[in-house]
């Protein structure tokens, strides 16, 4: 047990998960991740590189992943924007990698030292073309550790870039963290020796394993739409569509197994706060305060943001009167919530400017939505 920042917890989580390569470029409020990686990685036989920019960083990460090691990068706002072409490449070539976004306020240089949750849709849709990613959203330093480990595991299982959507508050708040060296770690799956085709999915729709370069497989890894051998098929609409559909469905068809939510007081809840990341902290306090006053409020906190657990939330929405969505942005995840809310009232609680919601703000919203009565 140590008292450390969320950023440090991400580093320790990555190392426990087997990360042995990090490439990055300094930016507030993510810099501590690079700084600590530069110290820690050589101690475990890994490599740290400070690259010339963020796109170079993510490209080096992808190269390292095909080089045979687990790899990640970390950045914030402008740097994450620069990475996007590489993120799409990783999605298309099914390269496991982890991207930590310690979110700050935007757009442009924005608010370097203040938190936001403004980049969540960029994580999902930031690169060009159709693809799907996975994104986890820690609320505390402990979760920065736990969910970074999870991000690496998911990247290996699903062969997909996975985002850790942290923010300035999670990144910089010092808290007690149990750096459990015994957590479950998914090793890189080895390819079969016979009849291996790099892009032929197994019966489960996932790729059968991933060799590194120079292991005798003579891989062709290409950002073009490709067939099972890796050869381009961009001219073939059917083969191209098949690949893009599989890239999306390998994630979207597994929502249930990927769902990771914390649910509190939902048995009799009438108003449920749907939350994630830092804004889940005041949300939790607000719900505790509501319960003390006998107000039937509950929490639905997403630890995995994408794929979005639409069915699970829709089922909940049928039993409650209102869903409240506090976010440090203009109202982004609330769009997903509205999509599945059915008859439940949806209240968006946007917070801009780099400040966290106060528990009172959320409590007030809970009481007023329940006071309004009826549907």
**Count of positions on this chain that bind another protein (CB under 8 A):** 44
Q: How far is the CB of 141 from another protein (least distance, A)?
A: 25
Q: How far is the CB of 19 from another protein (least distance, A)?
A: 12
229 binds another protein (CB under 8 A): yes
Longest alpha-carbon distance in the chain: 68
Among 2, 218, 311, 319, binds another protein (CB under 8 A): 218
Distance CA 276, CA 259 (A): 13
3-state SS track over 281-348: HHHHHHHHHHHHCCCCEEEEEECEEECCCHHHHHHHHCCCCEEEEEECCCCCHHHHHHHHCCCCEEEE
Q: How far is CA 77 from the centre of its chain?
A: 15
What single string gives the DSSP state of each residue in 11-51?
HHHHHHTTEEEEEE---TTTHHHHHHHHHHGGGGT-EEEE-
Distance CA 73, CA 48 (A): 10
DSSP H or E segment with residue 57: helix 54-67
Pairing outcome for strands 2-5 and 174-177: antiparallel
Q: How far is the CB of 22 from another protein (least distance, A)?
A: 11
222 binds another protein (CB under 8 A): yes
21 binds another protein (CB under 8 A): yes
216 binds another protein (CB under 8 A): yes
Distance CA 326, CA 342 (A): 19
225 binds another protein (CB under 8 A): no
* Ramachandran angles phi, psi of 361, nearest 5°: -60, -45
313 binds another protein (CB under 8 A): no
Among 5, 7, 31, 65, binds another protein (CB under 8 A): 65
> CA torsion sign, 362 to 363 to 367 to 370?
positive
Q: Judged by CB under 8 A, which stretch of 128-136, 168-176, 216-224, 282-290 contacts another protein?
A: 216-224
How is residue 134 written in tokens?
């996975």
75 binds another protein (CB under 8 A): no
Q: How far is the CB of 239 from another protein (least distance, A)?
A: 14
Q: Judged by CB under 8 A, which stretch of 59-67, 114-122, 315-323, 340-348 contacts another protein?
A: 59-67
Q: Give me the 76-105 binding string for another protein, x by CB under 8 A, dash otherwise.
A: ---------xx--x----------------
Q: How far is the CB of 267 from another protein (least distance, A)?
A: 50
Binding site for another protein (CB under 8 A): 20-21, 23, 42-43, 45, 47, 49, 51-53, 55-57, 59-69, 71, 85-86, 89, 212-214, 216-224, 229, 231-232
């Amino acid at each position: 047990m140590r008292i450390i920042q969320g950023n440090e917890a991400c580093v320790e989580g990555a190392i426990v998960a087997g990360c042995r390569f990090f490439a990055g470029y300094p930016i507030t409020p993510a810099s501590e991740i690079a700084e600590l990686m530069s110290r820690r990685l050589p101690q475990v036989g890994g490599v740290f590189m400070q690259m010339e920019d963020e796109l170079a960083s993510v490209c080096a990460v992808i190269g390292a992943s095909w080089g045979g090691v687990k790899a990640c990068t970390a950045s914030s706002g402008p740097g994450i924007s620069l990475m996007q072409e590489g993120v799409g490449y990783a999605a298309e070539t099914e390269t496991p990698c982890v991207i930590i976004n310690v979110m700050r306020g935007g757009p442009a240089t924005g608010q370097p030292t203040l938190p936001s949750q403004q980049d969540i849709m960029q994580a999902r849709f930031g690169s060009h073309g159709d693809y799907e990613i996975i994104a986890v959203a820690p609320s505390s330093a402990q979760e920065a550790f736990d969910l970074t480990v999870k991000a690496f595991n998911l990247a290996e299982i699903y062969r997909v870039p996975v985002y850790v959507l942290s923010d300035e508050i999670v990144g910089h708040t010092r808290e007690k963290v149990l750096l459990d060296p015994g957590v479950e770690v998914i090793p890189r799956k080895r390819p079969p020796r016979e009849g291996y085709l790099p892009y032929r999915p197994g019966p489960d729709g996932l790729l059968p394993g991933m060799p590194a370069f120079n292991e005798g497989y003579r891989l062709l890894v290409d950002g073009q739409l490709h067939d099972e051998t890796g050869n381009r098929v961009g001219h073939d609409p059917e083969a191209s569509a098949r690949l893009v559909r599989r890239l999306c469905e390998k994630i979207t068809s597994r929502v249930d197994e990927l769902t990771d939510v914390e649910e509190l007081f939902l048995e009799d809840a009438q108003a449920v706060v749907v939350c994630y990341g830092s804004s889940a902290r005041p949300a939790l306090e607000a719900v505790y305060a509501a319960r003390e006053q006998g107000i039937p409020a509950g929490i639905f906190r997403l630890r995995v943001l994408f794929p979005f657990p639409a069915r699970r939330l829709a089922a909940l929405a049928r039993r409650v009167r209102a869903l409240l969505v506090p976010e440090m942005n203009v109202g982004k995840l609330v769009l997903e919530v509205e999509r599945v809310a059915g008859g439940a009232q949806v209240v968006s609680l946007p917070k801009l400017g780099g400040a966290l919601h106060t528990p009172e703000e959320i409590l007030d919203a809970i009481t007023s939505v329940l006071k309004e009565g009826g549907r």
